[in-house]
Structure 1
Amino acid sequence: MEHIRSLCVYCGSSDRGPAAHKDAARAFGLELAQRGIRLVFGGGRVGVMGTLADAVLEGGGSVTGIIPDFLMRHEVGHQGVTQLEIVATMHERKARMAELSDGFVVLPGGLGTLEELFEIVTWKQLGLHTKPIVVVNSAGYWDNLRTVIDGIVAAGYARRENADLAAFVNSVEDVFPLLARLPGGELTVDSKRL
């Protein structure tokens, strides 16, 4: 799995979700650190996102956060990460996260997490990158999303192969065995064109 040196992880910034989601994020963060894989994330110190970053740091790993200036002003930026980049916009944040990462993992989250997932899948569909995307369906959290995607395919708005651009696994323990079997990828355009 030498092709994975850094992973972008999308996840929730809310503290209101089930404790099991934070537990899974913590386990995944410790595994990232143990494997020497850098975490690239949205730069927040709260919610699942903060738990994940704290676990990577606790395990001695490297964490790069990318956060827009307006969120820093709301005092949600994680000041303890290895590197914190402050950008102007949400779009610049997502483009930079994509540029720095060798693949993408989606943990439970809210509407922002959904938006990030759909954007990175769409970029892959359009040929803007070839990096692996893995959705962690902890305790069936994303089951309804899979139903929606199947409905989109059934209605003819997406081809099955495009709906399968993101692989679903049932737990964080399943992520690395899957990534080991998937080919590496790259951005196929300059990140400023995303």
Structure 2
Amino acid sequence: MVLDGMRNEAYERAITRAIEIKRGLGAKKVNVLDIGAGSGILSLMADRAGADRVIGAEIGQHMCDVAAEAVVMNGYGAKCLMINEDVRRIDAAAKPDGTPPDLEQKANVCVFEVPMAATVYCQPIQMRTERVLGFDMAQANQWRWRPESQWKALGCVTEVFAFDFHEAEANMQAAEVALHMTAHTGGTCNAVAFWFTLQLDEETELHTSPYTDKNWKT
């Protein structure tokens, strides 16, 4: 994902916009908490966008080391700190035993890879190989899930689910959708393709649609 240009650009736009909104609301300082910082790329984006302080919390020791080195090597060591902690265990208050707090002050912007909304789509497709240069290669169809497989749309794109992640309680409930798809092209339907659109904020989206040239490959 770190090499996915479309994803990176979308997240940077959303992070920059969030920091600008916070300042527009009168925040004297913008303190960012990067939850599950991983490689540290989102922390670096927040720093470059003008955050006053960025704390990246990463539970994996090796990834935390990578992120810490990336922060220093890119010149953001003075404003960005990586801590090897589970974000659920960090605090902005001193511990009962007198241990200093993990955060110097509370964050007023949180960064993590959860969008505000998402929509899942599906489409019946054919993923088969018949003849290649005159040879019968149909036996290869048992491995039709390889990325290089050729596919053909047989029906219309159908919306499956739509999630508003602010509705946490509703999203925890089991849900079932009955779909009726009609073929518009002849062929053998042996797969259903699924993809999604993520709404990062009111203006920024990420797509995994096979119809988008630049998409977030999952």
Q: Please state which structure has a larger fraction of its residues in strand.
A: 2
TM-score, normalised on structure 2? Answer: 0.36
Give the greater-gyration-radius structure (CA).
2
Higher relative contact order structure (alpha carbons within 8 Å, sequence separation ≥ 6): 1
Q: Please state which structure has a larger fraction of its residues in helix.
A: 1
